[in-house]
Amino acid sequence: MIFVTISAIIIVADQITKYVISNNIPFNVSDQLVPGFLNLVHVRNSGAAFGIFAHNSSLFSRGALSAVSFMALIITVWIVTSQRLDRSSLVGFSLFFGGAAGNFIDRLLFGEVIDFIDVHLGDLHWPAFNIADSALTIGAVIFCIRLIFTRQVNS
C-alpha cells in the first residue's frame, strides 16, 4: 500500500504542477519567486535528465528514452513485488517509480518533459527540473544509502 500511495501522490502532484505551469507561464518565460535563487520557468526537455541528448530530438531518440523509462517502471514494479523490502527501501522505490512515471507520461503525451523549477545562485544555474525529477533523485539517493549501509552491515 505504501508503494501505490506514494507513487500516486508523486504522479498526481507532478502532473498537476506541470499542467498549472503550462497554462499559466508562457513557453520559455521565467517568473522570479526568490530573487537570486528560485524562478518558475516553462521549458521543455526532449532529452534525458538535465537535457542530456536534448540536441537529438529524433523520433528514435524519443522512442529510446520512452523505452528506457518504461523498462525502469517494469523493473521497479518487479523488484517491489518480488522482494521483501524494508520501509525506507520501499519509500525509495516508490519515489523513483512515481518520478519515472510522471516523466514517462510527459514523453507519451508531448514527446518531451515539462520542466519548471529553476534554481540558481547568481549566474550559476542548475538545469531546470520538475517534481518527478526531484522524486527520482530522492528515491535514487535513498536506494544508494540503503545499499551502502546494507553492505557495511553485512561485511
Residues serving a catalytic function are: 115, 133
Nearest to 138 by CA among 104, 100, 112, 83: 100
Grid cell 514527446 is found at 111
Amino acid at site 5: T
Angle (nearest 5°) at CA 66 between 94 and 133 = 45
**Spatial CB neighbours of 107, under 8 Å, sequence gap ≥ 6:** 62, 65, 66, 69, 113
> Edge-to-edge, what's the strand order for the sheet holding 124-125?
30-34, 38-45, 113-121, 124-125
Gap between the Cα atoms of 88 and 147, Å rounded: 11
Grid cell 514494479 is found at 77
